[in-house]
Structure 1
């Protein structure tokens, strides 16, 4: 296990919201080595004690259930160095105390990823070090390719972790078990039996002060290009030979290569974009997106995106995959829905609705809609939902991600070519939207969407 985790951009939101709580959960579970350390690097002028005090405040806000002993154990591991992470000289000085391989986490705006990687390359990191990159990986296909080239100038691909915490969610991982460990599902997991697949991540939260990032990204880049396409790959992939990172990611890559974005002449029919206007969510008033602090209305950034793509291969030909995500919606909905075709012949007097398999992602659950004989008239059908709910994961997804990085297991991270394929899929949609081929709709905050 690598001993030193270096966080570039340690004063940012990602460190306080995700990384520090993840480390604390690992520490509480006894999964951190006593020698584990975190070195924070950023431009703020502060010392170790000030960094630790800020970390304590962040943990109190993000993980209030942690005991004092765990909080002290985690904060005692922290050190801080001031540096411009894009300046090779300053970064070299900040990392001078590293005695062995480190995992370097880029908790930075993606606009400076390449500059930070070049500075890391020039700083002579200890051999065997690893790089962790947050999404979005690049700002487009060309930029993602350039970033991959820059990274591979210093790190081997197996030492690069393009993290997506969605891949560590319990139900997401259960897709693998459901498909490949149960004979009842895999034989019907194809276009002959499946009519459509919906992958939905609807959020009731609004911007939450993230305009600095979100207004330059939007829903399609923030969620669809990475998270939702990764979920699609797991649903659509062929059975892997093993669950090794190479076999699993090879099969995901096959599925991603087969995705076809909507043709230009059908872009308006198969995609939609919108942004929220003023409304209320859960009884709380929400201002219009364009009135949120830090938003530039001229950017025309969407807060809702829905896209229908096809997977152009033998298994899935003709099956629409609908990807949907939005903010400030009235009801959070986070699920994958596999909609099966109706039976070829129906002997019952009333038409039976088709079966549906729902994989709920938050909270974790699986349900299957089936048709059974009614309790009254035995020749009438009743819809029954078979539910299986899972206890909460012992570790949150981000803790699994961090643990995989420390142990050098890239199975739950995205390979470089996967990241590029995600941009290949969404770039034609972004171009059509920029050209005005798909009008911007609106929806009141707290509604069901456009």
Structure 2
């Protein structure tokens, strides 16, 4: 976020205003920004959807969302009342021209009442097939004419593959400038993710070691206990590779591997991320079997309850070939990282929900201690825990108390809860505020999206072209299929998991 900028009068138009995303994330985020005094005095939120609702019914629905999902608990009656006055609802069909005429009328009305021009943010919290429809109708209704004040926010997925992402970028580029397009990836708004850059580039200690001379390998692991549940209709056309690796995990990899930017401006930071994606080794068809593995969960027990396999989930295809687990070994072919493997994995119905980046350093070149002194010897590790614990820990070797020289691993820990008393903002709070400020540092650029799709297309094509004969190949409450362990074990490593209490 840009600390010296002031938020201008703003109008939010939320397409999908009655949807789950608005109830769980968007309105709670805007409400917290309001509580923290981050919203301008003059702001309005226009929710829109097909369901006929009065303004009061709309507000009541969203109050229920606040009470369920707010990080601060149930809403304060006075604060909610003051906030809700800025919210209205418009029942509409996004395909009808009259919908956009009504938006235009409302926007002009607010600007007349405020006696100033406002920034207008169109938030597309809808299914991807409506992105072109809404963008096109906004243009036809002259609602995008002011490039300085109009912005559009698009939720992932940004396309279904490389070709569709190019088509979407081309369409948006005909209507908006790149400065107006905010492709939102909520992972980039998380506090610990933002701290990767601060940790690397604000300290002299680590950057000199941040290269192939000192780093053995990197792991990026995002695991989930939940299954697909009611989302099987969407998920069956996506899968773990599209749903998580193409966006979230590759963005985390870029933050770890990027070169130091010249400054903290949006395009400079994003240029360095694109450099990483372009330097990543492409997969030939014959490489996919060696470098990428997939899995699909079967039934099992999670926390004492029996859960169904993916193919038995409500609405799922009983013969589905969709992967619910994916692990890939990447290489970044440049001077800094040549030969250093980056292992990424993600999956559903796994033993624990956690997002962890592990940087394992090379061993000391010569150990002076006798073998018996180092019964728990391990290489130094830097562990960045994004969730559920928010921490950065450096694991080093130290002498155990006692008369003998015995070494063991100890942790040097920066823990958010132990260091700061204030509650960290949710990712959407950061991203929505940056949208209002016009700061695109934490948002995906069009060429970034296409470079990420280009990288994984050989894997997608290979997996779609041959059905897995082993699905389901891992049970619920496991750490995934055995082939994922084999992927990393072939190189002499193993997947790292942080203990529940962060201790050994």
TM-score tier after normalising by the smaller chain length? over 0.9
Structure 1 CA distance for aligned equivalents of residues 190 and 131 of structure 2: 26
**Cα offset, 1:437, TM superposition:** 7.5
Structure 2 CA distance for aligned equivalents of residues 188 and 194 of structure 1: 7
* Other-structure match for 2:439: 409
1:376 maps to 2:376: no
1:364 maps to 2:394: no
Question: Number of residues paired by the alignment?
Answer: 450
* Other-structure match for 1:135: 156
Alignment RMSD: 1.8
- TM-score of the two chains, using structure 1 as the length reference: 0.95
Structure 1 CA distance for aligned equivalents of residues 244 and 101 of structure 2: 34
1:6 maps to 2:17: no
**Cα offset, 1:121, TM superposition:** 1.6
The alignment partner of 2:81 has SS state of helix
> What does the per-residue CA deviation read over 1:102-153, in whole Å, with 9 as the maximum and x for residues that have no partner?
1000101113212221122212115121000111111111111111111122
The alignment partner of 2:330 has SS state of strand
1:34-53 superposed matches below 5 A? 34-53=41-60
1:273-312 superposed matches below 5 A? 273-312=294-333
* Other-structure match for 1:122: 140
> What does the per-residue CA deviation read over 1:143-195, in whole Å, with 9 as the maximum and x for residues that have no partner?
11111111122211111111112111111111111111211211111111111
**Cα offset, 1:7, TM superposition:** 0.7
The alignment partner of 2:227 has SS state of coil
Structure 1 CA distance for aligned equivalents of residues 49 and 151 of structure 2: 19
Q: Unmatched 5+ residue regions in structure 2? A: 1-7, 109-117, 482-504
Question: Is the 2:392–2:415 contact (alpha carbons within 8 Å) kept by the matching residues of 1?
Answer: yes
**Cα offset, 1:93, TM superposition:** 3.2
* Other-structure match for 1:390: 416
Structure 2 CA distance for aligned equivalents of residues 438 and 242 of structure 1: 46
Structure 1 CA distance for aligned equivalents of residues 283 and 95 of structure 2: 38
* Other-structure match for 1:80: 89
> What does the per-residue CA deviation read over 1:42-63, in whole Å, with 9 as the maximum and x for residues that have no partner?
2222222221121122222222
The alignment partner of 1:414 has SS state of coil
* Other-structure match for 1:182: 203
- TM-score of the two chains, using structure 2 as the length reference: 0.85
Sort the Cα spacing of 1:421 and 1:276 in 2 relative to 1 into closer, same or farther, 3 A: same
**Deviates most, 185-194 or 111-120:** 111-120
Structure 1 CA distance for aligned equivalents of residues 42 and 74 of structure 2: 24
Sort the Cα spacing of 1:437 and 1:377 in 2 relative to 1 into closer, same or farther, 3 A: farther
* Other-structure match for 2:80: 71
* Other-structure match for 1:448: 479
Sort the Cα spacing of 1:213 and 1:241 in 2 relative to 1 into closer, same or farther, 3 A: same
Of 107, 123, 131, the residue aligned with 1:98 is 107
Structure 1 CA distance for aligned equivalents of residues 416 and 76 of structure 2: 26
Structure 2 CA distance for aligned equivalents of residues 291 and 92 of structure 1: 45
Of 221, 224, 239, the residue aligned with 1:200 is 221
Sort the Cα spacing of 1:65 and 1:274 in 2 relative to 1 into closer, same or farther, 3 A: same
**Deviates most, 431-440 or 191-200:** 431-440
* Other-structure match for 1:338: 359
1:236 maps to 2:238: no
**Cα offset, 1:438, TM superposition:** 6.1
Question: Is the 1:26–1:395 contact (alpha carbons within 8 Å) kept by the matching residues of 2?
Answer: no
Question: Is the 1:23–1:74 contact (alpha carbons within 8 Å) kept by the matching residues of 2?
Answer: no
1:146 maps to 2:167: yes
Structure 2 CA distance for aligned equivalents of residues 110 and 60 of structure 1: 29
Sort the Cα spacing of 1:65 and 1:394 in 2 relative to 1 into closer, same or farther, 3 A: farther
The alignment partner of 1:331 has SS state of coil
* Other-structure match for 1:107: 125
Question: Which runs of structure 1 show a deviation greater than 6 angstroms over 4 or more consecutive aligned residues?
Answer: none
Question: Is the 1:196–1:338 contact (alpha carbons within 8 Å) kept by the matching residues of 2?
Answer: yes
The alignment partner of 2:363 has SS state of coil
Structure 2 CA distance for aligned equivalents of residues 220 and 278 of structure 1: 21
Q: Unmatched 5+ residue regions in structure 1? A: none
